Amino acid sequence: MGLAWIDALVFTSVWVAAVAGALCAASALAMGAQPPLDAMGLAAAGTLVVYNIDRLRDLQRDFATTPERSAFIARHAAALRALTVVSVLAAAGFVFSMGWRVVALLAPVLLLGLFHRRLKYIPFSKPAYITFAWVVVVVGLPVLVAERVENVFTVVCVNSLSIAANIIASNLRDDETAEHVLPPAVSLRIARGLAAIGVVVALSDGPSIRPLALVPLLTAGALLRRDIGERYGMVVVDGALLAGAVGAIALS
């Protein structure tokens, strides 16, 4: 029963949507602002939409690299489509309440999502453009709605390093990224190094930033394992971002 619930959370993208919402809140606190509920909701709902549409479209091709997730999606495709429709409506509601500026902010993220199927096969591109998209969401949205923010550059750096490390490690099994150019061991060392730098950057700044060090710290800990398989990558490596963000919120 427990494993079934984990599958449901992870394979429906609810797990990664929770990461987006939590990072949005943690980033806001690190910048001296209150966690914006509408921005958190939009980050989570938008993540559900983008990730589930991509996984439904690429279902057959994904069986080669993510067989467990793909089998789950194939069995529950109708329910996943319904969840995606509900998420679209929720995201539209958040966009309407936040105003036109959020449309301008998220336009580049939408374009990247539309061209993701082509961009992801360009060596070294996937960690760069997905990191950019995530940072626009989890840092840009709090900045957009906050009255005053500080430490924006440092928060961008810490999130970028943590997310890039996550993406590199999570895609070691794919043939879509730089991992088919570099040996997997080299890519994993790069991911660990990025996470370690993120810890140093966060701890070297002011007290409001330091709790955010948990995000790259727990990511680095998850990457100590050499074999980043499908379930470990989705549950533990992504879960490190979630646990780090929740810990940062609790300590702020």
| pLDDT above 60 for 11 | yes
| pLDDT above 80 for 124 | no
Q: What's the pLDDT at 117?
A: 66
Backbone φ, ψ for residue 109 (5° rounding) = -65, -40
Q: What's the pLDDT at 60?
A: 81
Backbone φ, ψ for residue 12 (5° rounding) = -90, 0
| pLDDT above 50 for 178 | no
Query: Which residues lie below 8 Å from residue 89, measured CB to CB, with a gap of 6+?
Result: none
d(CA 70, CA 148): 43
Tell which wins on pLDDT, 108 or 213.
213
Quick one: average pLDDT of 62-74? 87
Confidence tier at 176 by pLDDT (50, 70, 90): low
What is this structure's pTM?
0.92
Using a CB cutoff of 8 Å and minimum separation of 24, what contacts does 109-115 make?
109/46, 109/50, 109/133, 109/136, 109/137, 113/50, 113/53, 113/54
Cβ atoms within 10 Å of 24's Cβ, excluding its own: 25
| pLDDT above 60 for 102 | yes
Could you tell me what percent of the chain has a pLDDT over 90?
A: 68
> pLDDT by residue (tens digit) across 186-235?
989 999 999 999 999 999 988 999 999 999 999 999 999 888 888 899 99
d(CA 166, CA 161): 9
> pLDDT by residue (tens digit) across 37-58?
999 999 999 999 999 998 898 8
Q: What's the pLDDT at 226?
A: 84
| pLDDT above 50 for 179 | no
d(CA 147, CA 203): 25
Confidence tier at 183 by pLDDT (50, 70, 90): confident
Quick one: average pLDDT of 5-20? 94
For the purposes of burial, counting CB atoms within 10 Å of the CB of 118, is it exposed (0-12), middle (13-18) or buried (19 or more)? exposed
